[in-house]
Structures are given as structure tokens and as C-alpha cells.
Amino acid sequence: MMMTIKGIVLSQKVLGEQDKFIDVLTETGIVEILVKGSAKITSKNGSATQLFAYTEFDVTNSSRNQKNFCHLRSALPIRIFYGLRQSVQSLALASYFAQVILYSALPQASTPEILRLFLNCLHYLSESENNPMQIKCIFELRIASLLGFRPDVLMCRKCGCYLPEKLYFQVENGCFYCESCETSGILMPAGTLQAIRHIVLQDFEKIFAFRIAPHCQESLVTFAEQFLQYHTDRHFPALEYYYQLIRELTL
């Protein structure tokens, strides 16, 4: 059966000299596509099957038992994020995002939103004026919500205080307490809570439009990363690679 699918290349496994498998995130889930290098059509469209390319794929699906496996017939790139290649740091973050998506069970209903989030994060990462750490936090907290783990950002779980000056956010329970009610969790100023609220609750169009105050960045980064890791219960090798890069760059 022939069909056309639109999606973004999350990973690739090279087979021999010319062929490869690619995993593609589409609005309906992840599809594995076999790309034969020997086919004239695919070598002509090489950039369309490279990592993080957003592409329209014409594929054939020969076996009925493998509904998520296809052979590539032709590929037409929709968007190549050239800016990503200019920064190893951005490229490492993009790989981390891709791993989170690959390792998670994607709920059918939120897969289109996950695709949209990933595309937007790649867009902002490929423009050098954006803060990669902020994009990382947005991705982590927003995808956690889409995967079904939304932190409770409403008020102190005990006394109902809406905006305490300082608070403790508990990753395991996914809720926060003001300083006078509890003293365990990630300590953060009110500004960090407001940033978390913005990322989790704001309409998609607006989530990238804010600036983290410098005194809030550290607690936001810690919280977003730990929250996603704890609730997905996964270890992401690309994240380790990202931190290794940062250490090398700051030496």
C-alpha cells in the first residue's frame, strides 16, 4: 500500500554503506522507514532523510503485520533546521528531546501536540539568539504534561497560598508548599513558580515568549529536568552527553 506521511526524523541507524533505518515522528505516532541508498530517488533527496529533517515521505507498507514499518519511495523536505548544525550544544539538546520522544509511550491524543512542540523547539534552538537552557525547560515541562504528568501549580498544597515568596516544589508529589508549611523539595523563588506556571498553563503560541530572571534559572532548570526524569522513569544518555559538552566548553 502506498501512502504519504509527514514527520520529523528522530533517529537513524545506518546499515552497511548505503542503507539506513530512520524513525520518524508523525501526528499518529512513530514510523520506522527503510531508506535504500541504492534507489536514485533517495540519494537525490539525501537531506530529506537526515536527522531532524521535517519531511513529506512517500512510502510503501508491504506487510500487514508491521503497520509501523515502511519502505521509502521518495522524500521531499519541508523544513531543514540548518541553524542546528551551527552549535554542538543545540544539536545535543535536539538529540535529547528526540530520545525523550523515542523512549516514551506517546498517548494517541497528544501526539500531534508533541510533534508541534518538538518542531517549535527545533526552530527556536536553530536561532542562535535564544537561550538553549530555557528551551530545554520548556520542552521538559510541556512534554511531561503532554505525556500525562502535569505538575500541580495552583497553590500551596497545605495552606492554599497562591504566590509564596519562597517555596519548595516536590518532584515526586508534583506539587509545592510554601516555606512555612514544608521544607523539603526544590527550593525556589516566586519567579520560578511563575515561569513553571507559564510553561505548563499558557497557550502553545505563547510558551516561548518569556525571559527567565537570572536568579530563577537554576531552580527552573533543576526542577524541569528532575520532574521529567522522575515521571518518565528513564535515563537519557543524550542528556549526559549534553552536560559533558557544556563542561568541556566552559573549561
Q: Site residues (CB under 5 A) for Zn ion?
A: 156, 158-159, 161, 178, 181
Residue 166: strand, helix, or coil: strand
Smaller CB separation from Zn ion, 196 or 212: 196
Least distance (Å) between residue 24 CB and Zn ion: 46
Q: For 79, list phi and psi in degrees, rounded to 5.
A: -150, 125
Residue 242: strand, helix, or coil: helix
Contact assessment for residue 181 and residue 166, using Cβ atoms and an 8 Å cutoff = no
Smaller CB separation from Zn ion, 56 or 179: 179
Contact assessment for residue 54 and residue 69, using Cβ atoms and an 8 Å cutoff = no
Sheet arrangement for strand 166-170: 175-178, 166-170, 186-189
Least distance (Å) between residue 166 CB and Zn ion: 11
Least distance (Å) between residue 167 CB and Zn ion: 8
Smaller CB separation from Zn ion, 156 or 193: 156
Least distance (Å) between residue 155 CB and Zn ion: 8
Smaller CB separation from Zn ion, 102 or 181: 181
Smaller CB separation from Zn ion, 167 or 239: 167
Residue 70: strand, helix, or coil: strand
Least distance (Å) between residue 31 CB and Zn ion: 47
Contact assessment for residue 44 and residue 86, using Cβ atoms and an 8 Å cutoff = no
Q: For 74, list phi and psi in degrees, rounded to 5.
A: -155, 160
Least distance (Å) between residue 158 CB and Zn ion: 5
Q: d(Cα 114, Cα 64) in Å, to the nearest integer?
A: 27
Q: d(Cα 159, Cα 91) in Å, to the nearest integer?
A: 43
Smaller CB separation from Zn ion, 177 or 236: 177
